[in-house]
Every structure is written in C-alpha cells, then in structure tokens.
Amino acid sequence: MNTEIWTERYRPKTFDELVGQEEIVKRIKNLTNSLNIPHLLFTGPAGTGKSSLALIIVKELFGDKWRENYLELNASDERGIDVIRQKVKDFARTRSLSQVSFKVIFLDEADALTREAQQALRRTMENFTNTCRFILSCNYSSKIIDPIQSRCAVFRFRLLEKKDIEKIIKRIAESENLEIQEESIDILYEASEGDCRRVINLLQATSSISPRITTELINTVVSQAKPSDIKIVLEYALSGDFQNAREKLLDIMLKESISGQDVIKAIQKEIWNLNIEPELKVKLTEKTGEIEFRLVEGSDEFIQLEALLASFVIAGHGKM
C-alpha cells in the first residue's frame, strides 16, 4: 500500500500546474524568466498555492542548484528576533552559487513573526538586496508591518473556485483510478471551502476506504453536520417545537461528534435556504454571528446553541 502523502505527490511542479491563480502566475512567470525578482509578499487563505508557487520560482531560477540557494523557514515555529539576526542574516550575506546573482529566502507564515523580528527583517531586506531576495507568505497581510509591505511586490491569492477544485479532483481521480460521482465533486468542494490541500487530503482519506467515491463516504470522512439534519433542527425551532429541535441538535453533536463551531457554520449556510422573509434571515444571521463569537471566546457550546435555537423559536412566533 502506498503511504505517500498526496498533498506532496500532487503539489504543483510547474507554473502551468498551479490552478486558480492565473493572473498572479502570469506576472510571476514574466519576472522569473528575466532571472530577476523583487522581494515578494504572498497573502491569502491556506491551501491556495502560496508555498507551491515560491518553490516553483526557486526551481525555475536555479534549476538543479536550487537547494544550495534556497532557505525555507516557518515563521510560526521560529518567530523570534534571534532567528532573523542569525539564520536569516547568515544565509542572506553570502553570494549565490549560480548564474543568478542572488539567493532566495522563503518565510512561510510570516504574519506569526513578532514585531521586533519584523523590524529586524526589514533591515536585513535593506542591507542584503544585492545577494538575497525574500518571499514572504502569510494569511493576513494586515499583520505584516508597513515597512516590509512597501519593500515587497504584494500578490493576493484567492480561494479556489469550483472549476479549479474540479480540475484537481479529476486529475487525481484519473491518476489513482478512482470513480467519483458528479454530486461527490460538489460535496468535496463545499467541504474544502476552496482549500486545495484539504480537498486532496479528503480524496486520499476516502480512497483508502473505497476507490468509488460517493457522497455518503465523503460525509463519513468529513465528519460535518449534514445540511438536511440542520434543516430539520431549524424547521422544528421555527415551528415553535423547541424540545424536538434541542433533542435533534444534541443527537447531531453527540452521535456524529460535531463541534459547536461546525454546527454554527452549517446553521449559517442553511438559514438562506429556509422559507422565511429575507429580513428575518438577516436578523437570524446576525444572531448566529453573535453566538459564534461567544463560542470562540470559550462559552459552553450546548448552552449557546440552545440560546440560538430559542432565538429561532422567537423568530417563528414573529416576535424578533
């Protein structure tokens, strides 16, 4: 049995294999072909191709010698000022061992760097521009200090669309001899929420059970609340049957091992499929957001979700 992790096997190896970020790839490709790039800042959600693109750039620039001219650090693990002053600075000050006149340092999850470390990084970027280029990757560009952002060309990655995820799924299915139902692609896309890494992991997990990927199999692996179950809970509540709504909700959470935050997300999506007035949908969405905030802050899941169901009961009676 092949135990290789699919996210590495199906990581894009060339510019053409990176899907969903065509405009960014086009601009980066032109810079790379000139054998000269500025400092780069990649920002966007997880699983959209930031790390993969950084690796593709390095391999295109240096060819077989890319390992000698490339340093990758995960800033969330090594986030202090000493890392910038020692590891990064020592690597940046030495010359490249190829026809390209600079080395490349890739700082993944750079938004985890402390402000002091970012200030030190800014000085290093200034002092060693002739011998080193930096590629920074982050989920939130607002956590990167302005002096660093102003020194970088900023590229904003977006979540992958359904057509992009479908392309990845079909490529993997063909390579691994998987049989995938058309409706299963929709479920995989919804479960991944545009995250390429997540959809590949889900495919590997489901294919280890059966080469025939069905919606039931995906729901088993995903372990998230089914829209049909959540709809029943909300309809009970809106009809004024709080007891049955509460019992059904507890049944979903306990038997399916669904967390409160996952239930909240499912409720938020299902609100817009309910047969109620648009104004009421807006009010219930606002209430759902308030409960989600309380859960994040550490409140009891069951109490808060019961409070949310009570709001739906009140809404059903037209008193909201």
List the single range of 12-26, 147-161, 250-264, 304-318 with lowest mean pLDDT: 250-264
Task: Return the higher-pLDDT residue of 306 and 217.
Answer: 306
List the single range of 177-181, 221-225, 253-257, 275-279 with lowest mean pLDDT: 221-225
Sequential DSSP letters for 189-249: HHHHTT-HHHHHHHHHHHHTT-SEE-HHHHHHHH----HHHHHHHHHHHHTT-HHHHHHHH
Query: What's the predicted TM-score (pTM) here?
Result: 0.78
Q: What is the pLDDT of residue 79?
A: 59
- Give percent above pLDDT 70 in the chain: 95
Q: What is the pLDDT of residue 1?
A: 41
Domain annotation for the chain: domains and CATH numbers: 21-156 (3.40.50.300), 162-222 (1.10.8.60), 227-316 (1.20.272.10)
The CA dihedral of 299, 300, 304, 306, to the nearest 10 degrees, is -170
* β pairing state of 132-138 and 152-156: unpaired
pLDDT at 3 over 60: no
Average confidence (pLDDT) over 289-297: 92
d(CA 184, CA 69): 43
pLDDT at 76 over 70: no
Task: Return the higher-pLDDT residue of 243 and 316.
Answer: 243
Average confidence (pLDDT) over 43-70: 92
**Over the stretch 118-160, which tens digit does the pLDDT of each residue have?**
888 888 888 888 889 999 999 999 999 999 999 999 999 999 9
How does the average pLDDT of the chain come out, rounded? 87
Intra-chain end-to-end CA distance of the chain, in Å: 57
**Over the stretch 190-234, which tens digit does the pLDDT of each residue have?**
888 888 888 998 888 888 888 898 888 887 787 677 778 889 999
